[in-house]
Amino acid sequence: MDSNTLYYTFSVIPQVTGTIAGITIAFIQILIVNLREHLIGDGQSVLYRWGKPGYSLPEPENQKQNKKLKDAIARKNISEIKSVISKLADNEKKEGHSLEDRPTGLINLFDRFSEKEDKINQIKKISWKVFIFSLITIITSILSLATTHLIYSNIFSYYGFLILNVILFIGSLFLTLFLLKKLLFDK
């Protein structure tokens, strides 16, 4: 392998890693936006039903929470929407209802809401790991590219840097695939 091959190798790794990371981040953003829209839709659904049996609280809390929900929906504030749904679900429990007698009630809605919110947080957490690992891969490869002439002159550094870059690249790919699997196939 000559120095040109080494240059191309160290050049292609950050290009491919950056492309894959960019596409993955775009896909993740779309998924997060869709999940957030579902959560806001759940809040809108509760607001639409407000005042119907099971969809109210004792006064004066009822008006206060109704205004809070309207404001939270307008600002797309997920945590405040969840707070109101939580109070309504707690009220449903206080009235003696459960998932068994109201399988589509507010207790179920709150559980689904919490699961979706947890999924968003999990996606963000894994995404940061993918991003950081990809960034390390790109930086390492660019630094190797900048010092290729020095690396090429020493057989130990030649194979060491080549193997390091390839391992980081493969690690980035597997971490990205793990993230995509988690997003697409895990509930």
Cβ pair 123, 28 in contact under 8 A: yes
Measured CA to CA, the distance from residue 183 to residue 16 in angstroms comes to 21
Residue 187: per-residue pLDDT? 62
Q: What is the tally of helices (H) and strands (E) in the chain?
A: 6, 0
Q: Which helix (H) or strand (E) holds 8?
A: helix 3-49
- What's the mean pLDDT when you consider all of the chain? 90
C-alpha 102: how far from chain center:
31
Confidence class of residue 140 from pLDDT cuts 50, 70 and 90? very high
Cβ pair 166, 134 in contact under 8 A: no
Neighbours of 175 (CB within 10 A): 19
3-state secondary structure of 97: coil
Return phi, psi of residue 151, to 5°.
Answer: -65, -40
186 has pLDDT over 80: no
Residue 180: per-residue pLDDT? 84
Q: Among 1-5, 20-24, 73-77, where is mean pLDDT lowest?
A: 1-5
C-alpha 74: how far from chain center:
23
Measured CA to CA, the distance from residue 163 to residue 175 in angstroms comes to 18
Q: Which of the two residues, 33 and 4, has the higher pLDDT score? A: 33
pLDDT > 90: percent of the chain: 56
Cβ pair 134, 170 in contact under 8 A: no
The token pair that represents 184 in the structure block: 């697409």
Residue 66: per-residue pLDDT? 94
Confidence class of residue 185 from pLDDT cuts 50, 70 and 90? confident
DSSP 51: T
Residue 52: per-residue pLDDT? 86
Mean pLDDT on 44-49 = 94
